[in-house]
Amino acid sequence: MNRKPLSVEALEARDVPATFGVPWHDPSQLTVSFAPDGTPIAAHTSDLFAGLNRDAATGAWQRAVLEAFQKWAVHANLNFGVRADSGAAFGTPGLAQFDPRFGDIRIGGNAMASEVLAIGSPPDPALSGTWAGDILFNTNYRFDGNPYSLLAVALHEVGHALGLSNSTDPNSVMFTTYDRTRTELSAEDVTRIQALYGVRAADSYEGALNNDARGRASAFRLPAGQYAGETPLVAFGDITSAADRDFYTFTIASDGNDDATDRSVTIRLQTAGASLLAPRLTVYDAAGNVIASRVSTSASGDVLQVQLTNRREGSTYFVRVQAARNDAFAVGRYGLSVRFDNTSSVSDAVIDQLLSGPFSKLDATQIDAFFRAGGDLLVSAEENADTRATATRLSGTAGYAGTRFEALGSITKSEDVDFFRVVAPAAGRVLTATVWTPDGTGFQPEVALYDAAGRKLSARVLANGDGTSTVQFEGATAGAAYFVRVGLGAGATQDKGNYFVSVRFGDTAVRLATFATDTLSAADRTDAHRVYVGEATVFHFVLTAGPAAPGTSVRMTIKNDSGVVVYAVEAAAGSSASASSVLLVPGQYTVTVEVENPSGAPIRYTIQGAITTNPAGPATIDPTLKPQYVAPPPPGSTTAFAYPPAPVSYDPATLYGYVAPADPSTYPLGWAPPRELLTQPWFLLTSDPYLWLTLGY
């Protein structure tokens, strides 16, 4: 490999627009995974381990990447847990968060062109599907610090993966070019990340007095009713700095036997899967004597566990949780459990499921029910359909200054409906409501917005499929009440499940382009469209079907030039639907839109969407991902694509970028077509890396 001398190096080329400034659904518990070598990335495979193992041991370079995540996490409501990666293809359909097959943010690598060090996708989980947040390193480079530091490059790309765009501040890790090694966040970086994710807030157990000493220890919260130690006690907390200390206290209850000195207790402190905090666990007796301790040496989260045996019922103990080190890994979320082994048979596996999963919002009674159900629990078992009058008021999320609200709920049957009430804050006129499910069982919740008078708001549908439903309303009024309705989506194949709902107020709105719109009927049941993709591009599509008779639906299918289906989505009449975003590699595609229409009456459809980013790299060595249709650029342009002609029913001269080789008057000033295009009757010359041609209009 040729080593490149030190120079100003572009961190990445972004010819494809992406939406920045959009936070993750649930940033309090994001997960990261390292894709194994051989993981498909479009038409090639990841070689991350082979590439980075050239200069450092696996544990060393992984620690550098995880340190980059932690340097952002210490300043905001962010946590990153490490998860195993199954090796499923990047961009495979699934959940944007909590997909069990891999982390929310996947780390991969492949050989790219020399002008790029790495690529990071912005989150926008409503649009990007499982592409959201993924990072690919250019394995043609040696990230050994001479000159390119893996930590510095990772800091920049993690910023993109969290939703930050490039910066013009030369002190920022988000500065566009790598002209020096930046391994610490600037003041601007901290301000920008806190604007998206709030300041790191104390956990709910801290209380007004803080639980930083034994004399102010927090008692574990007990479930409702008679509790005799049948299930573990649980606390979810947060170490916000290296100096933070959290104390908890518990008392051993009687197990009903005659011998009062045979009690056994298992204490488990877990950050693995929940954060990158390297924890320290200390257990004290009532007199303040240390009777057990454990210290983590991990940089990827850990599980510390001690068992106290031959303990007397009625005895009181204290547990201290703190960081094991004084660096970026001294901050993070944790779960703490106390199992009374004589009365509880809950397994370590179920406790791990709770402490590492997205369950920190459960109260003590729900946690008790979770354990009794072996982890299979509807957290809200009521079956009555709510109304606006009985709506639950959404609670604000700590650290967000009243701009983010969230809750956890359940749909128990197809008729079940939940309503939530939220009051708009003084800042932020863009209201975004999202509901998503933490599993992939076919449960599909759907969200809608209403004003205080009960009128349904004309909110833009950004996503509705793959377990996520997101709508956005521009024009929220400060102090006004809004209602969020959560019900079962039309495409659901399971009628019950748990969901998370969040409402955020901000200033960034997602813009969807309209790619095509038409009317279908019994006489004209199918439309065909053609797409020419010049560069590997991730597309997000939203298909909307107009009102029609029950049972009517519209289906959209995309096939590549070989006739293979690469994307499909179906929308019922009067609704919108989306599927996981799709990476279209360069080439020609056919889009078919068909109607299933029992009544035969006309139905209108619209295809909208967006380009999220280009996670496969602007120009990799894989020939299937190199730009196609490239033409010599006209004056003043850096890149141009000449798309081949397609049969259209209207005058192609009306299309933007129309060029007829036989008519020099159609040439841009100072430009001449290359020889290979001279035989074309016409083509379109554009700087866009993709072009959507609608046929039959």
pLDDT at 613: 55
Query: Could you say which DSSP state residue 112 is in?
Result: B
Of 6-15, 274-283, 375-384, 533-542, the one with minimum mean pLDDT is 6-15
Of 76-85, 393-402, 438-447, the one with minimum mean pLDDT is 438-447
Flag whether pLDDT at 616 surpasses 60: no
Q: Pick the more confident residue, 425 or 656.
A: 425
Flag whether pLDDT at 90 surpasses 50: yes
Q: Pick the more confident residue, 391 or 383.
A: 391
| In a shared domain, residues 16 and 157 | yes
- Tokens describing residue 377: 């629990």
Overall average pLDDT of the 181-206 stretch: 93
Q: Establish if 376 belongs to a structural domain.
A: no
- Tokens describing residue 390: 């009985």
- Do the beta carbons of residue 273 and residue 341 sit within 8 Å? no
- Do the beta carbons of residue 117 and residue 11 sit within 8 Å? yes
Pairing mode of beta strands 587-596, 392-393: unpaired
Give the model confidence (pLDDT) of 60-81 as tens digits. Answer: 999 999 999 999 999 999 999 9
pLDDT at 686: 84
Q: Pick the more confident residue, 691 or 47.
A: 47
Give the model confidence (pLDDT) of 10-34 as tens digits. Answer: 333 333 345 677 788 889 889 999 9
pLDDT band at 43 (very low <50, low <70, confident <90, very high): low
Pairing mode of beta strands 395-396, 430-436: unpaired
- Tokens describing residue 476: 């929220």
Q: Is the dihedral of CA 459, 462, 468, 473 positive or negative?
A: negative
| In a shared domain, residues 281 and 327 | yes
| In a shared domain, residues 331 and 260 | yes
State the chain's mean pLDDT as an integer: 87
- Do the beta carbons of residue 352 and residue 300 sit within 8 Å? no
pLDDT at 623: 59
Q: Establish if 527 belongs to a structural domain.
A: yes
Give the residue among 87, 98, 90 at the shortest CA–CA distance from 24.
98
- Tokens describing residue 466: 């793959």
> Which among 506, 524, 549 is the end of a domain?
506
Identify the domain containing residue 597 by its residue range.
513-611
203: CB partners within 8 A, 6+ apart: 236, 237, 238, 246
Q: Establish if 500 belongs to a structural domain.
A: yes
Give the model confidence (pLDDT) of 502-520 as tens digits. Answer: 899 988 788 788 888 889 9
| In a shared domain, residues 120 and 143 | yes
| In a shared domain, residues 339 and 484 | no
Q: Establish if 276 belongs to a structural domain.
A: yes
Tell me, what amino acid is at 652?
P
Q: Establish if 190 belongs to a structural domain.
A: yes
- State the CB neighbour count (10 A cutoff) for residue 102: 25
pLDDT band at 615 (very low <50, low <70, confident <90, very high): very low
N- to C-terminal Cα distance for the chain?
Answer: 52
pLDDT at 491: 72
Flag whether pLDDT at 6 surpasses 60: no
> Which among 149, 165, 197 is the end of a domain?
197
Flag whether pLDDT at 129 surpasses 90: no
Tell me, what amino acid is at 241?
S
SS3 51: helix
Flag whether pLDDT at 235 surpasses 80: yes
- For 204-216, b/e burial (b = at least 16 CB within 10 A) is ebbeeeebbebee
| In a shared domain, residues 580 and 476 | no
SS3 377: coil
- Do the beta carbons of residue 328 and residue 67 sit within 8 Å? yes
| In a shared domain, residues 481 and 521 | no
Overall average pLDDT of the 513-541 stretch: 85
- Do the beta carbons of residue 508 and residue 516 sit within 8 Å? no
Q: Establish if 617 belongs to a structural domain.
A: no
287: CB partners within 8 A, 6+ apart: none
Q: Where are the alpha helices (DSSP H) in 299-375?
A: 348-356, 364-372
Round to whole Å and give the CA distance between 549 and 553: 9
Of 180-194, 213-227, 245-259, 456-470, the one with minimum mean pLDDT is 245-259
Q: Establish if 524 belongs to a structural domain.
A: yes
Round to whole Å and give the CA distance between 631 and 637: 11
Task: Kindly state the helix (H) or strand (E) to which residue 48 belongs, with its residue range.
Answer: helix 48-52
Total of domains in the chain: 5
| In a shared domain, residues 577 and 636 | no
Give the model confidence (pLDDT) of 474-494 as tens digits. Answer: 999 999 999 999 998 877 788
Tell me, what CATH number does 315's domain have?
2.60.120.380
Residues in a beta bridge with 460 = 472
Round to whole Å and give the CA distance between 400 and 430: 15
Overall average pLDDT of the 676-697 stretch: 74
Distance of CA 594 to the CA centre of its chain: 31
Round to whole Å and give the CA distance between 611 and 54: 35
- State the burial class of residue 6 (Cβ atoms within 10 Å of its Cβ: 0-12, 13-18, 19+): exposed
- Do the beta carbons of residue 538 and residue 613 sit within 8 Å? yes
pLDDT at 288: 95
pLDDT band at 406 (very low <50, low <70, confident <90, very high): confident
SS3 365: helix
Query: Could you say which DSSP state residue 153 is in?
Result: H
- Tokens describing residue 179: 């002209």
pLDDT at 127: 61
| In a shared domain, residues 327 and 454 | no
- For 156-175, b/e burial (b = at least 16 CB within 10 A) is bbbbbbbbbebbeeeebbbb
Tell me, what CATH number does 607's domain have?
2.60.120.260
Residues in a beta bridge with 308 = 265
pLDDT at 614: 47
> Which among 506, 536, 553 is the end of a domain?
506
| In a shared domain, residues 84 and 43 | yes
Could you give the angle at the alpha carbon of 201 between the alpha carbons of 195 and 204, nearest 5°? 145
Flag whether pLDDT at 130 surpasses 90: no
Flag whether pLDDT at 546 surpasses 80: yes
- Tokens describing residue 451: 């004003």
Round to whole Å and give the CA distance between 557 and 543: 11
pLDDT band at 402 (very low <50, low <70, confident <90, very high): confident
User: pLDDT above 70 covers what percent of the chain?
Assistant: 90
- Do the beta carbons of residue 399 and residue 199 sit within 8 Å? yes
175: CB partners within 8 A, 6+ apart: 156, 166, 167, 168, 169, 182
- State the CB neighbour count (10 A cutoff) for residue 249: 17
- Do the beta carbons of residue 78 and residue 277 sit within 8 Å? no
pLDDT band at 697 (very low <50, low <70, confident <90, very high): very low
Overall average pLDDT of the 452-467 stretch: 90
pLDDT at 16: 34
- Do the beta carbons of residue 340 and residue 267 sit within 8 Å? no
Of 74-83, 116-125, 419-428, the one with minimum mean pLDDT is 116-125
Flag whether pLDDT at 123 surpasses 90: no
pLDDT band at 279 (very low <50, low <70, confident <90, very high): very high
Q: Establish if 686 belongs to a structural domain.
A: yes
| In a shared domain, residues 520 and 662 | no
Q: Pick the more confident residue, 134 or 636.
A: 134
- Do the beta carbons of residue 331 and residue 70 sit within 8 Å? yes
Tell me, what CATH number does 93's domain have?
3.40.390.10
| In a shared domain, residues 285 and 311 | yes
Peptide bond into 147 cis (omega under 30): yes
pLDDT at 208: 79
The radius of gyration computed from the CA coordinates of the chain, to the nearest angstrom, equals 28
Flag whether pLDDT at 294 surpasses 90: yes
User: What are residue 593's phi and psi, to 5 degrees?
Assistant: -120, 120
Round to whole Å and give the CA distance between 513 and 535: 18
Give the residue among 474, 388, 472 at the shortest CA–CA distance from 433.
472
